[in-house]
């Protein structure tokens, strides 16, 4: 049975073209630096985001944590938003792997206040009690579905550079953000020293993310990736799909965004459903069902019987995510099923 899967864009299976190139990929042992397809992907990815070098990692979480581990010393403080993925959804890894302290700041729908960041920067040399700020992390697109304005990133990056502190961008959905802002992705990545982006979300690659930065940073990261168990052997099979993701699949993201807007508009017509319509910047629709007669687990199982996979509520909200394999007709079918049910 074919399901319509709105749980996430991570559920995207690879395209036929990806399966073909994976089958035919020329591979080698990437730990011996012997995999030509991986080298091609890493060079292509670095160029795309205008960084000197890039490295393939098994997941977005791996890439973020590798970045913290590479930028920081143990005991350093990392300044970031209270609601960002690194804080909320990475299993507390920052304390286990990099051994850093997270200094979380209040965020305004994902946006951090530059002056607030400035006031939190400190140096261990100023006072025997202080840790040193080792890194500032930004997230764009944000996992709350919104895209952070370029001007905000720029202001924060300027402050970071004045204080000689590196900035890492969690760009799991970097290309969604660029597509929403209708700018080249380089405009976003010029405001950070390192960036992570996922191949495995809306871009449909089966596995993998990229971490990009300076040559020196990536060289250090490569050793730490090995320590973390991320030295992969014939990884060119994955790189082959990753190249298709970066070359062919970025353009489709605007379709995902249009489908999400349409889904949001139609859902908001169902009595009791409250959609955060203004927050639909990319492929995610957040809404509340608390004024409907049904609980989320009932909706989840009823829709599953109709061939639709969704997640239950998190923090009192439902989230539907559109992706390459969800077409406009599928969106209409989902809305119809939900309408009938309620």
Ligand X SMILES: *Cc1c(COP(=O)(O)O)cnc(C)c1O
Which residues here bind ligand X, judged by CB under 6 A? 10, 59-61, 64, 85, 139, 143, 170, 172, 198, 200, 209
Query: Which CB, 15 or 61, lies closer to ligand X?
Result: 61
What secondary structure, in 3-state letters, does the chain show? CCCEECCCCCCCCCCHHHHHHHHHCCCCCHHHCCCHHHHHHHHHHHHHCCCCEEEEECCHHHHHHHHHHHHCCCCCEEEEECCCHHHHCCCCHHHHCCCCEEEEECCECCECCHHHHHHHCCCCCCCCCCCCEEEEEEECCCCCCCCCCHHHHHHHHHHHHHCCCCEEEECCCHHHHHHHHCCCHHHHHCCCCEEEEECCCCCCCCCCEEEEECHHHHHHHHHHHHHCCCCCCCCHHHHHHHHHHHHHCCCCHHHHHHHHHHHHHHHCCCCCCEECHHHCCCCEEEEECCCCCCCHHHHHHHHHHCCEECCCCECCEEEEECCCCCCHHHHHHHHHHHHHHC
Residue 55 Cβ vs ligand X, minimum distance, rounded to whole Å: 15
Query: Which CB, 64 or 296, lies closer to ligand X?
Result: 64
Residue 302 Cβ vs ligand X, minimum distance, rounded to whole Å: 27
Residue 87 Cβ vs ligand X, minimum distance, rounded to whole Å: 10
Which residue's CB comes closest to ligand X?
Answer: 60
Residue 158 Cβ vs ligand X, minimum distance, rounded to whole Å: 23
Residue 60 Cβ vs ligand X, minimum distance, rounded to whole Å: 2
Query: Which CB, 60 or 264, lies closer to ligand X?
Result: 60
Query: Which CB, 15 or 64, lies closer to ligand X?
Result: 64
Query: Which CB, 60 or 236, lies closer to ligand X?
Result: 60
Query: Which CB, 85 or 225, lies closer to ligand X?
Result: 85
Residue 207 Cβ vs ligand X, minimum distance, rounded to whole Å: 9
């Amino acid at each position: 049975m074919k399901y319509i899967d709105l749980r996430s864009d991570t559920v995207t299976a690879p395209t036929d073209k990806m399966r073909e190139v994976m089958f035919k990929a020329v591979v080698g042992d990437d730990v011996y630096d012997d995999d030509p397809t991986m080298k091609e992907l890493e060079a292509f990815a670095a160029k795309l985001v205008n960084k000197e070098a890039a490295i393939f990692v098994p997941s977005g979480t791996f890439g973020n944590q590798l970045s913290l581990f590479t930028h920081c010393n143990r005991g350093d403080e990392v300044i970031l938003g209270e609601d960002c993925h690194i804080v909320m959804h990475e299993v507390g890894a920052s304390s286990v792997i990099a051994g850093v302290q997270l200094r979380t700041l209040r965020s305004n729908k994902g946006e951090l206040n530059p002056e607030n960041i400035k006031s939190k920067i400190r140096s261990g040399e100023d006072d025997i009690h202080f840790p040193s700020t080792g890194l500032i992390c930004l997230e764009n697109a944000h996992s709350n579905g919104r895209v952070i304005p370029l001007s905000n990133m720029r202001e924060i990056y300027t402050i970071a550079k004045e204080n000689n502190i590196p900035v890492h961008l969690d760009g799991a959905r970097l290309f969604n953000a660029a597509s929403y802002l209708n700018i080249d992705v380089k405009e976003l990545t010029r405001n950070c020293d390192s960036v992570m982006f996922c191949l495995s979300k809306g871009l449909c690659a089966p596995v993998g993310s990229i971490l990009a930065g300076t040559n020196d940073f990536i060289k250090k990261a490569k050793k730490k990736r090995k320590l973390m168990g991320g030295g992969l052997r014939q990884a060119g099979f994955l790189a082959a799909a990753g190249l298709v993701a970066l070359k062919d699949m970025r353009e489709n993201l605007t379709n995902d965004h249009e489908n999400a807007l349409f889904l949001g508009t139609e859902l908001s017509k169902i009595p009791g459903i409250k959609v955060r319509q203004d927050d639909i910047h990319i492929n995610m629709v957040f809404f509340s069902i608390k004024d409907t007669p049904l609980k989320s687990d009932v909706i989840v199982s009823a829709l599953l019987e109709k061939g639709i996979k969704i997640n239950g509520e998190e923090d009192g909200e439902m989230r539907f995510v559109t992706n390459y394999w969800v077409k406009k007709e599928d969106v209409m079918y989902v809305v119809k099923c939900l309408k009938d049910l309620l």
